[in-house]
Amino acid sequence: MSAISGEKPKISVGDRLPEDLYFGALNEGEVEPRKVTVKEVFGGKNVVMFGIPGAFTSVCSSKHLPQYYDRYEKLKQKGVDIVACTAVNDPYVLREWARNHNTADKILMLADGDATFHSALSLIQRLPFAGIRNYRYSMYVSDCVVKIFNLEEPGALSYKVSGPDRMLQDLERLQKEGK
């Protein structure tokens, strides 16, 4: 349940996401995944992205994804343009998971199947019976700059700070501070 490298994450509030990193995206009706860069997803937009250890897993399926879906309109009211979910899964798995939960109309699925994005940010952990996965977290990114970053403890079950209610509180605080 520990981080692979033992390093602390290489991303924090105020940092710019590396714009040349990429995800795989596969929307309903598409046959092949397409490459989307960080710049395409986050450039000029306000994005809430939450990272999960894996699609079709317990906390991810019962709480994390459904709660973000349920709070989607509240997030939009706070000025969020895109709500995205990412995992070290392939695009086909994330598409099927979104289909299974009927969330594809609101949540953008960003696959990091080869762990390129999460490795660059040192957000990788090794989980028993699951292998290499990313940490559970949430972040608010405005034009590629991280404004909020909530990282859970290592492991698959920790779910205390990365949910949408905490994100909404943090967005409210940012608005009050004028940031």
Catalytic residue among 25, 38, 41, 60: 60
Q: What is the pLDDT of residues 93-120, one digit of tens each?
A: 999 999 999 998 999 999 999 999 999 9
β-bridge mates for residue 145, sequence order: 16, 142
In the predicted model, residues of the chain with pLDDT beneath 70 are 1-7, 128, 130-131, 155-156, 179
Q: What is the CATH number of domain 22-177?
A: 3.40.30.10
Residue entry with tokens 């709070």: 71
Q: What is the pLDDT of residues 74-88, one digit of tens each?
A: 999 999 999 999 999
Please provide the size of the chain in residues.
179
Q: Which pLDDT value is given to residue 94?
A: 94
Question: Which of helix, strand or coil describes residue 22?
Answer: strand
Residue entry with tokens 């395409």: 40
Cβ atoms 26, 109 nearer than 8 A? yes
Cβ atoms 13, 148 nearer than 8 A? yes
Left if phi > 0, otherwise alpha if psi is -120 to 50, otherwise beta: which for 79?
left
Q: Is the pTM of this model over 0.85?
A: yes
Show me where the domains of the chain are located: 22-177
Q: Is 85 a catalytic residue?
A: no
Q: Which pLDDT value is given to residue 57?
A: 79
Cβ atoms 90, 110 nearer than 8 A? no
